[in-house]
Every structure is written in structure tokens, then in C-alpha cells.
């Protein structure tokens, strides 16, 4: 009995290690985009990723055929949403690094854009996850895309100002 | 520029510069994850213990106080001297 449990434990840890090896890179990239940090210096993104993967580890036995990647991504997104709300508010961009491609967007715009376009989550699922109406997700996504592709003049000083205030 | 082209451009923008995954990530994740599991099972054990203690306390109280026995009347004086 104990032997069976032990072998189950090693199988479980092997499976989880394979999952982490496969998913960590992409999830870390997504987290770095969310926190708008530079790819070389991303403590917040690493922390988010560690928490999300630890949560996935803790509910690994109760997944019952659900996609662990999906679960980790959901946890990451929600954790980021709550953290952004608590720490910086929706209006402030928080500390963004100018190296990040999304540094000009608000946390909510980054969240929607990363879920919709980088991760390819459907509009309805994004809306359900974030508790927003589908039309709102659509609008935010459009606006963020427009801001990224056609940067408004005078936006860069605002980001620098927010950075000074936040730090 | 239509919608699909815009989305493709943004995707391309986001795909640039993948960060390096830290080497000790797996160990840290397992450490935190097993701590979460341990805490959860400790909380569950504590809840069961609390439930057990509460039910034992209730049974002891019920056996000593006997709330189902009709209390002696305090309004009518006992009839004596018939």
C-alpha cells in the first residue's frame, strides 16, 4: 500500500515536472507582459508565475482531466487583476518598464490583450473570467490594439510621471 | 489595415523578447505548493477536531442538563393536605 502510494507520488511529481518544463516559459512571458516589466528584470512576473504554478501543484490531484495550463493561466490572470486593483488602482499604470511592448497600457488593457491575443482565449471566456460584459472586453481589446499600433503623442511623459509617482 | 492584420501585428509585438525562466523555479514551486497542501490538510484536520469537540460537548451537556425533562412547576403550589 505504502509502496503504491510512493510510486503514485513519483509519477505525480514527474508529470508535474514535465508540465512545468513545458508551460513555464510561455506563462512567464505572459506574466512579464502583464506586469510590463523588462524581460531581464521581472521579479513581479516571477512571483506571479511561482504562485500560479504552486496553486496548480496544490490542486494537481483534483484536476480530473481539466487542463492544468488553463488552470494556471486563470489563476495567474486573477491574481494579477486583484494585485493591480489593490496595489496601484485601475487608473495608474503601476511601475512599467519602457522596454516592455505594453508599457503604455493600463493593467486592465494589458490583461485583456494578453488573454485575448497572446494566449488566444475566446472573448466570452475572457469576459467570464474577468467578470466583464463581452462587449466591454471587445472594446478594451480594440482600444488597446489602437493604442499600441498608433501611439498617441505625449503618452510617454505620462508613463514616466506615473513611474515617478509609483516609486 | 483590417482587424485580423491589426491583431497579427500586436501578436508579433508581444512575441518579442521572451524572458529567461529561472533555474530554481521548479524547486520553489514544489516548496510553496507542498506548503499549501500541508496547510490545507492541517486546516481540514482542525475543522474535524473542532466538530468532534463540539459534538462531545453537546452530548455531555444534554446528559447533564436533560432539557427534555419537564421542569418542575414554579407557578402552581404543590397540592397537599387533601
Residue-range definition of the domain harbouring residue A159: 2-166
Q: In this predicted complex, what is the ipTM?
A: 0.73
Contacts of B36 in chain A (CB under 8 A): 54-55, 57-58
Mean pLDDT on B8-20: 86
In three-state form (DSSP H/G/I as H, E/B as E, the rest C), the secondary structure along A3-40 is HHHHHHHHHHHHHHHHHHHHHHHHHHHHHHHHHCCECC
Q: Say what the pLDDT of residue A77 is.
A: 94
CATH of the domain at A104: 1.20.140.160
In this prediction the pTM is 0.78
Residue B18 is classified by DSSP as P
A141 close to A121: Cβ distance less than 8 angstroms? no
Q: Verify whether the Cβ–Cβ distance B19 to A99 is below 8 Å.
A: no
Mean pLDDT on A134-160: 78
Mean pLDDT on A110-123: 92
**Residue in B14, B19, B36 nearest the CB of A118:** B14
Chain A positions touching chain B (beta carbons under 8 Å): 13, 16-17, 20-21, 24-25, 28-29, 32-33, 39-40, 42, 45-46, 49-51, 53-58, 99, 101-102, 113-114, 117-118, 145-146, 148-149
User: What is the number of structural domains in chain A?
Assistant: 1
Amino acid at each position: 500500500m505504502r509502496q503504491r502510494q510512493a510510486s503514485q507520488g513519483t509519477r505525480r511529481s514527474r508529470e508535474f515536472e514535465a508540465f512545468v518544463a513545458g508551460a513555464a516559459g510561455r506563462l512567464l512571458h505572459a506574466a512579464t507582459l502583464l506586469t510590463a516589466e523588462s524581460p531581464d528584470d521581472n521579479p513581479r512576473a516571477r512571483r506571479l508565475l511561482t504562485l500560479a504554478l504552486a496553486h496548480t501543484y496544490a490542486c494537481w490531484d483534483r484536476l480530473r482531466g481539466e487542463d492544468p495550463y488553463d488552470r494556471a493561466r486563470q489563476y495567474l490572470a486573477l491574481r494579477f487583476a486583484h494585485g493591480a486593483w489593490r496595489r496601484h488602482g485601475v487608473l495608474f499604470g503601476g511601475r512599467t518598464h519602457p522596454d516592455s511592448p505594453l508599457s503604455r497600457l493600463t493593467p486592465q488593457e494589458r490583461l485583456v490583450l494578453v488573454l485575448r491575443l497572446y494566449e488566444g482565449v475566446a472573448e466570452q471566456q475572457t469576459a467570464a473570467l474577468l467578470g466583464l460584459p463581452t462587449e466591454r472586453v471587445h472594446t478594451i481589446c480594440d482600444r488597446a490594439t489602437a493604442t499600441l499600433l498608433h501611439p498617441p503623442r505625449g503618452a510617454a511623459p505620462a508613463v514616466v510621471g506615473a513611474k515617478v509617482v509609483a516609486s | 489595415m483590417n482587424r485580423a492584420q491589426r491583431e497579427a501585428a500586436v501578436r508579433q509585438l508581444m512575441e518579442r523578447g521572451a524572458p529567461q525562466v529561472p533555474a530554481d523555479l521548479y524547486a520553489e514551486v514544489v516548496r510553496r505548493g507542498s506548503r499549501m497542501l500541508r496547510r490545507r490538510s492541517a486546516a481540514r484536520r482542525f475543522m474535524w477536531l473542532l466538530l468532534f469537540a463540539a459534538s462531545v460537548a453537546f452530548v455531555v451537556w444534554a446528559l447533564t442538563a436533560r432539557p427534555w425533562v419537564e421542569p418542575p412547576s414554579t407557578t402552581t403550589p404543590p397540592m397537599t393536605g387533601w
